[in-house]
């Protein structure tokens, strides 16, 4: 099908109906422009690459509920701006609270020192990671321990980038559940996935893994 001759509304309807070729056409048409826009906000091409992939993966995954009142271009730019601003806020949160999170990790038990020893936390976290389903565990380790980008993981395992996103997100949720009771509840209430990520990153810095 020649998508170039289609009205924008018809093209969007095709995507809503599950036409991957229409989605790929839109991605190809707008990818570079959205990438440049995001890079202008984050000033880092690698980060911009991951964020722009998020935009188009989300566009596809939420296709059935798409509500585009303005032009497709305006919709994509607005999505990119909001997603990037959320990323920047999360990144700032991580920078501001990483040290504080590590210091405030306390066990909710009768521990007389009321401080959760890093060696014990490392043990519990390692066990929780090993209990993840095999494919999820492999993807999670490639991200956190080998420091690979989502695209690099997807290429290495020959899977879609959206699958990498989903598996890592699910892994963080499962780890959060397994660490309940071992991390200050007030921290977990802030943003569980971010806190777990900070804990792992901090342990890596201490060479506990």
Distance CA 209, CA 193 (A): 19
Domain 3-88, CATH number (from 2.40.160.40, 3.30.70.20, 3.90.470.10, 1.10.1740.10): 1.10.1740.10
Q: What is the pLDDT of residue 17?
A: 92
Per-residue pLDDT of the chain (209 residues; tens, 9 = 90+): 778 888 889 999 999 999 999 999 999 999 999 999 999 999 888 889 889 988 998 899 888 888 888 789 999 999 999 999 888 887 776 665 555 555 554 444 444 444 444 566 667 778 888 999 999 999 988 887 777 888 888 888 888 887 888 888 788 888 877 776 665 555 555 444 555 555 665 555 544 44
Cβ burial, residue 24 (10 Å; 0-12/13-18/19+) = middle
Domain boundaries, the chain: 3-88, 108-205
Domain 108-205, CATH number (from 3.10.20.30, 1.10.10.10, 1.20.1250.20, 1.10.540.10): 1.10.10.10
Look up the pTM and report it: 0.53
Torsion sign, CA atoms 191, 192, 195, 201 = negative
Residue 8, token pair as written in the block: 């924008």
Residue 133, token pair as written in the block: 């389903």
Q: What is the pLDDT of residue 32?
A: 92
């Amino acid at each position: 099908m020649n998508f170039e001759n289609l009205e924008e509304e018809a093209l969007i309807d095709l995507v809503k109906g599950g036409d991957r070729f229409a989605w790929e056409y839109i991605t190809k048409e707008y990818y570079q422009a959205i990438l440049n826009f995001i890079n202008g906000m984050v000033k880092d091409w690698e980060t911009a690459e991951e964020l722009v992939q998020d935009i188009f993966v989300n566009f596809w995954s939420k296709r059935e509920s798409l509500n585009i009142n303005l032009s497709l271009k305006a919709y994509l730019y607005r999505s990119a701006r909001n997603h990037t601003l959320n990323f920047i806020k999360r990144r700032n949160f991580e920078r501001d609270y990483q040290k504080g999170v590590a210091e405030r990790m306390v066990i909710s038990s009768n521990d007389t020192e009321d401080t959760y020893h890093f060696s014990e936390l490392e043990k519990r976290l390692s066990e929780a990671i090993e209990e993840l389903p095999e494919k999820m565990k492999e993807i999670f380790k490639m991200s956190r321990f080998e420091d690979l980008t989502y695209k690099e993981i997807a290429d290495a395992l020959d899977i879609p980038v959206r699958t990498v996103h989903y598996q890592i997100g699910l892994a963080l949720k499962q780890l959060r559940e397994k660490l309940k009771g071992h991390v200050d509840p007030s921290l977990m209430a802030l943003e569980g996935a971010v806190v777990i990520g900070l804990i792992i990153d901090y342990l890596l810095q201490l060479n506990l893994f």
